[in-house]
Amino acid sequence: MRIITVKDYEELSKKAANILASQITLKPNSVLGLATGSTPVGAYRELVRIYKEGDINFSEVVTFNLDEYYGLDKENLQSYYYFMRDNIFKFVNININNIHIPDGRAKNIEQECIGYEDKIKQAGGIDLQLLGIGRNGHIGFNEPDVKFEAQTHLVTLDEDTIEANSRFFASMEEVPDQAISMGIKTIMHSRKILLLASGEEKAETINNMINGKITPELPASVLQLHPDVIVLLDEKAASKL
């Protein structure tokens, strides 16, 4: 794991965007694995800025999002489809056919999950996977006690995740308790991984992920086994290392 620590969220966002932009520059038809949540918002904003300055082109870029809430329609303001459109896709020249996000309303979930894995394979695999991390150590929606061999599947969200994500909903009861998520195996097959963490509330989890034992109880700890991971932290997230 390569650990890079920067001063604050602004710097973290700029550096993350630069890494993503370099990937697109080096391979214009990159397959990017993308994440939602608060952490990557600044990186997407910076990436849009780099795009508007004319320095990168999304026309051949292919994307696969990590996850989507089960039962939420694309048009729902809390869906990750909506989040991605609102934070990045509507601002750049990405081909809509190259955007992939699990369909939270699929009639046949098993088929949806198998189909998602097939599409990743057909695209040639993920070149660079962007990740956030939950306070409970989840990556994607792979919650503690995850099966490391799982591919894209329907998951039940942890109480801690529901509570953490309730800030985006009117009440905790409105947070879906299931989601479709890439599995740990899917994530581990990415050629490169860039994990972002900001703030003190992630510090202990980050320390356990990097220095603790590899355990399904802390899903992100499996990244110790991946050959090419950048962990990009601000000072607060790195404060317990």
Position 37 contacts ligand PGA (CB under 6 A):
yes
Identity of residue 55? D
Q: Is 136 a catalytic residue?
A: yes
Q: Is 177 a catalytic residue?
A: no
Q: Is 100 a catalytic residue?
A: no
Question: The tokens of 175 are what?
Answer: 């947070």
Q: Is 138 a catalytic residue?
A: yes
Helices (H) and strands (E) in the chain, counts: 7, 10
Position 39 contacts ligand PGA (CB under 6 A):
yes
Nearest residue to ligand PGA, scored by beta-carbon proximity = 37
| Catalytic, out of 143, 153, 158, 165 | 143
Considering only residues 105-164, where is the footprint of ligand PGA by CB under 6 A?
132-134
φ, ψ dihedrals at 154, nearest 5°: -85, 130
CA distance 159 to 176: 11
Number of residues that bind ligand PGA (CB under 6 A): 6
φ, ψ dihedrals at 58, nearest 5°: -95, 5
SS3 88: coil
| Catalytic, out of 46, 65, 67, 103 | 67
Nearer to ligand PGA, 37 or 102 (CB): 37
Please count the other Cβ atoms lying within 10 Å of the Cβ belonging to residue 144: 16
Residues serving a catalytic function are 67, 136, 138, 143
Q: Which residues contact ligand PGA by CB under 6 A?
A: 37-39, 132-134
